Every structure is written in structure tokens, then in C-alpha cells.
A and B are shown apart, each in its own frame.
Chain A
């Protein structure tokens, strides 16, 4: 579905993404993890056309989309959400989702009807008339997801849709994402909430300081010493191992 090959991006002197590659097979949920500032959001921007890579290629569904305009990439079926949510604040939830639906549907009534359907799927059917500006953080994150879903994507890039949510809200959202996958949408998600990463993803990539440092099954990857060091600092894996040995 998606193949990123040796992609690079620097801002001035800072190498935000260095020679990163990843592969997302159709029908799967793949996650991308890594500490803050690792370059995950930048990688999403490179894939979705918001940033132009310095080098490297992005192949989506067999087509080279490197450097294409974001709206064209979306029309091809690859849509992203924003970590810093961007609701259409003065519109209602229904109108927000309908904007996404209009990407495939010209008719206004049909787009609004589609919005109702998508809202039901993500559990926002009770908030349809509410103004997007009045939503809570959890509501906004869901709206971000709903709008993207309404464009009928083949591949959905989710950037930290669980961040800022409490345990109950996370527990509600996990099955929603699973349902979306079951309808045949491939998903690539950036997530810090490990519980969600573990329970949702089939495969995991780890990015640290712009470099892919590990990949594999979520369980294996998260217990690898390199990954633990990336998250917790130098020497952390060793200390953790010692602690476990002592506890045992």
C-alpha cells in the first residue's frame, strides 16, 4: 500500500528525517513510535505532500507520489490527520465531516448524509449539531479522525489521536480504529500510548532522531534494548535489566 524509500528532510542544519524507509502492507495497522522530536510528524508531512523531501521516494498504491500536492494525494486515497488538531471551528460537527465527504461526493445532501454515517461509526452521532469550536480535546481528536475517514481513504495516517485522552476515552477509541481497519482501510499511526500500540498494530517502526532504529512485531520491538535507550536515555536498558534480575 505504502512504501517510503530512503527519505531525507532537514530544516537548516537540523536533520529531522534521515534516510528513513518504511513499508505498510494493505489491510494492516502499522505503528510508528519514537520519542518527542524524533521526526514522526515530519515524516507524515513528507508522505502526505505537506513537505517536499530533500531526497527519497514515496510510493502509494503503486504510484510515485513524491512531492505531489496534498489535495491530490488525498484524492488518491491517502489522508492524514494533524497532531495539533485543526477543526473548522465555526462549523458544526456534521458540516466538518461533510467537508471530508465532499472529496468524493458532489451533492450536498448526500455529503451530509454520509457525514451522519461516519459520525455514527466514530461515536459522534450525539454531537452532530454541536459547534466544532466547543468540543473537548477528545471530541476534537475524534472529529479529526471522522473528517479524514469521510474522504474514503485507502490509507489513513493518524498522528497521535490518543494523546491528551483519559483511559476511558482511549478504551473507547481503540475499538473504533479496529472497526475502521475491518472495513478495509489500511492504517499507519503515530502513537505514544503503548497500550494502543500493542493492541492495535500488526507491525511497528521506531524512529529516533530522524533515523529508523528498529522494526518488527510490537512486542519484540518494544523490549529491544536500543528502543528502551532511545526512550529512556543512555544506559537505561542495562539498568532495567538489572532491576528485573533483582526483582526475580
Chain B
């Protein structure tokens, strides 16, 4: 696909995302869109390191959870403004990510070993967040006070009692903005020296080294960027739900959600995580609406579906849905525009 086709595609996608909720007017559908964009951002955080850099993390919950906890605890314990807390959250997560990256890459952990160590760190933080009650409030989690004063809505980063527009759309446009920023960064990265070197590391680390790339530094840079993006998801989550507990923060489900979207959508592409997230949430919602009733609302159906989609994509679409879309596009444009 040419750069121009890509840009027009993005214009259409972003305009749709910007305007769609205004026409939906339904709290349920706006919630659905919010969660879709949330996972799209979470997935981009994974995609930077996993898709572009080839380092598959199985523990991105470590980054999400650390961000969420810093955001929650700074407000809960010290009454710090959420707008200030978020910078500490991002910085804190980058520090944690850099530490894990430094240790893993310094000791040359690749492939399965890198996956295992990220998993181990997430598990360690899960245990710590449950047991260090004096710091984290333990297993019962942190509940933030609900602001009921409309005048304080923006100052408290809470839109539940805000004026008419913010109340309805505040969180949607928050996650939409986060998506815009993180996807713009990824778009820029893809077209930069750093991005080219990161992909080179993924494709062949020895060749990258021979061509003068400091592969350690490049991987470390990628994990820091990945951390910052994932941290923003933690911040968003806490502001939206005003609650965080160890299982949500550091349990395996966020780690898994983070890798589903980019793998299904298309690894190492800007649009992949968004496409993947829209697809799995769309399929999940469609299932609920059609056969959900017949199944009696039992839990597990959507994850059975997502797991199956994951396996099928791995088996038949090595480049994910993006690869499929590009193949179709090539067909339609008569193979002129590869």
C-alpha cells in the first residue's frame, strides 16, 4: 500500500472514531468503544517491543499494574492531583520496564526466556501488591473517593458527575486522545532510524550488531516506549473505574489482552493493534447479541472465541488481519499497488 493510501485510510479511521460516539448516544455502545480503544492502546504498548522488536512479553500486566497503582496511590495516600500523578505513573513504569529490560537484555535472554522473565516479574509484583498492605492496601485494593462536584470534574479527572457533554463523552475522548498520541508516536517511530534499527534487531540480531547497531540500547529504548504507552492505560483505567486491586493490575488477563490485539491485527504495523481490538471486541459483542441468550449468559464464551481466533490467525494469517486486508487490496487494485 502506498503512503498516500495509508494516510487516506487513517483519515477515514480517525474521523470515524472521532464522530461515531456522537451519533450513537448510547452509554452501552460508548462503553464498548472505550474498551475497544483501551485494548488498542494496550496492544500498541505490546506491539512496540513484541511486533517491531521481536521480544515477546508475557507479562505486560507488570507495566499496566504499576502505572495503575502509582496513579491510584498518589491520589489516595497523598491527595496529589491526578494530572500530576500521571507523570509519576508514566515515569515509574518506564523505570520498572527499564529495569526488567536492563536485566533481561544484559544477560542475553531471548525468545522463550524473555517471555518467562516478564511473566515472573508480573507474578512477583502480584504477590507483592497483595502482601505489602502498608504500601498497597493489600488484596482489597485501592478505592478512590468519588467526586460529586461538577465544578471539580476536570480537576479530579472524574467525569461521572460532570456537565452533560463531559459526563457522556469525557472518558471516550480521553482514551481517543491517548490513542491519537500513542499511534502518532508509533507512526513516527516506524519512519525513524530508531524504528529501522528495532526491526533490524527483530530480523537478525547478529547482522544488526555487525552493521553498527547497539542492539542492547535499541531494545532498552523499545521497552521504555512500550512501558510509557502501557502506563497510560493504567492511568486511564484508574480514572475511569476509581478502583484497582492486585488481580486486575498484575493478573494474567491484562498480559494476554495486550498481545491478542496486535497478533490478530498484524504484528509490527501501526494499525494492527487497533484492527485486532476492533475485530475481537466486535466478534465478542456479536456473539453476545446472537447466541449469548441461548447460552444463558455463561462466562467463558468470549475467551474461548478469542483463543480460537488467536490459534487460527497464527496458523493461517502469519501477518494478521493487516496481511489479509493488504492481499485483498492488492487484488482489487489489480496488483498495481503492492
Contact = CB atoms under 8 A, between A and B. Distances in A.
Q: Answer yes or no: A and B touching, Cβ < 8 Å.
A: yes
Nearest to B192: A108
B196 A79 contact: no
Contacts of B199: 88, 91, 95
Nearest to A81: B210
Nearest to B338: A129
A71 B196 contact: no
Q: Interface of chain A, helix or strand or loop or mixed?
A: loop
Nearest to B193: A102
A68 to B, nearest CB: 12
Contacts of A95: 196, 199
A148 B193 contact: no
A225 B210 CA distance: 37
Contact of B200 (A69, A70, A99, A105): A99
B193 A106 contact: yes
Contacts of A103: 211-213
A242 interface: no
Contacts of A148: 210-211
Contact of A86 (B192, B207, B213, B338): B207
Given A71-B215, A148-B211, A102 B191 contact: no
Nearest to B319: A90
B211 to A, nearest CB: 5
A48 interface: yes
A75 interface: yes
B110 to A, nearest CB: 15
Contacts of A79: 210-212
Contacts of B212: 71, 74-75, 79, 100, 103, 151
B244 to A, nearest CB: 39
A108 B211 contact: no
Given A86-B204, A90-B203, A99-B200, A80 B193 contact: no
Given A71-B209, A86-B204, A99 B214 contact: no
Q: Contact residue range for chain B?
A: 20 to 34
Interface in A48-89: 48, 50, 69-71, 74-75, 79-82, 86-89
B45 to A, nearest CB: 22
B149 to A, nearest CB: 49
A208 to B, nearest CB: 26
A112 to B, nearest CB: 9
Interface in B57-106: none
Interface string B171-209: 000000000000000000001110011011001101111
B194 to A, nearest CB: 9
A151 B213 CA distance: 11
Given A74-B211, A79-B212, A151-B211, A99 B196 contact: yes
Contact of B204 (A71, A81, A87, A98): A87
A88 to B, nearest CB: 4
Interface in A207-245: none
A74 B206 CA distance: 12
Interface string A150-189: 0100000000000000000000000000000000000000
A206 interface: no
B196 A108 contact: yes
Given A88-B200, A147-B211, A82 B193 contact: no
Nearest to A129: B338
A111 interface: yes
Contacts of B209: 50, 69-71, 74
B159 to A, nearest CB: 40
Interface in B198-237: 199-200, 203-204, 206-215
Contact of B206 (A69, A82, A151): A82
Interface string A98-137: 1110110111100100000000000000000100000000
A89 B197 contact: no
B215 to A, nearest CB: 7
B204 A108 contact: no
Given A90-B203, A108-B191, A82 B197 contact: no
B192 A99 contact: no
B196 A111 contact: yes
A111 B214 CA distance: 18
A83 B207 CA distance: 12
Contacts of B211: 71, 74, 79, 99-100, 103, 147-148, 151
- The 9 closest A-B CB pairs, nearest first, are A74-B212, A88-B203, A103-B212, A86-B207, A70-B209, A86-B204, A99-B200, A102-B193, A75-B212
19 contacts: A69-B209, A71-B209, A71-B211, A75-B212, A80-B210, A81-B210, A86-B207, A88-B199, A88-B200, A88-B207, A89-B203, A90-B203, A91-B199, A95-B196, A100-B212, A108-B191, A108-B192, A129-B338, A148-B211
Interface of A: 48, 50, 69-71, 74-75, 79-82, 86-91, 95, 98-100, 102-103, 105-108, 111, 129, 147-148, 151
Given A79-B211, A87-B203, A108-B193, 11 more contacts: A71-B212, A74-B212, A79-B210, A86-B210, A88-B200, A89-B203, A91-B203, A100-B211, A103-B213, A105-B193, A107-B193
